[in-house]
Amino acid sequence: QLRLAQRFKLPIILHVRKAYDEICAIVRRMGFDQGGIVHDFSGNYQQAQALLALGFKLGIGGALSHNRANKLRHTVSRLHLQDMVLETDAPDMRPAFWQSARNSPLSLLMLAQIVASLQQCSLDDVILSSNNNMLAVIPKLSIDC
């Protein structure tokens, strides 16, 4: 997948579980420089910095809302808004605050509120930054109005 993305000069979405150091090594070894998004990032600050240095944005989702996510909350509090995109894994991976049995994109607003609190900034700043970051990675998502 990395070879195809590099060949066609496309970003890639990485779905990584407990293997951030390994994926960084693979990306470096292959010389992949198109960047992309690390879906549902849950690593530590050092892993975040390594992925950011490789040109990736970090997907921040429902995991941030769970009580056991202290490491992730600490990491998000230290990142810059331009390093993150908000995401859901709807209909799966529902946030702790979500009452419905199934996750929904509507949970993004509450996730943005958590990020705003951790970053000590406005909700509008978080939403605008996340949107701009997503468009920077995947410009074809832009809708000309």
Is the pLDDT confidence value at 105 over 70?
yes
78-98 tens-digit pLDDT: 999 999 999 987 767 766 676
Cα–Cα separations (whole angstroms), residue 81 to 4, 37, 60, 72, 115: 29, 14, 11, 15, 9
Dihedrals phi, psi of 30, to nearest 5 degrees: -80, -10
Q: Are 52 and 78 in contact (CB under 8 A)?
A: no
The pLDDT score that the predictor gives to residue 145 is: 53
Q: Please tell me whether residue 56 adopts helix, strand or coil conformation.
A: strand
Residue 137, token pair as written in the block: 């990675």
Is the pLDDT confidence value at 99 over 70?
no
CA distance 45 to 78: 8
Q: Are 51 and 58 in contact (CB under 8 A)?
A: yes
The pLDDT score that the predictor gives to residue 6 is: 93
Rounded to two decimals, what is the model's pTM? Answer: 0.91
- Is 76 buried (19+), middle (13-18) or exposed (0-12) by CB count in 10 A? buried
> For the residues 70-81, what does the mean pLDDT come to?
96
Lowest mean pLDDT among 57-61, 88-92, 129-133: 88-92
- Domain ranges in the chain are 2-139
Q: Are 49 and 57 in contact (CB under 8 A)?
A: no
Is the pLDDT confidence value at 102 over 80?
no
pLDDT grade, residue 144 (50/70/90)? low
Is the pLDDT confidence value at 73 over 90?
yes
4-26 tens-digit pLDDT: 999 999 999 999 988 999 999 99
**CATH code, residues 2-139:** 3.20.20.140
> For the residues 25-33, what does the mean pLDDT come to?
95
Whole-number average pLDDT of the chain: 91
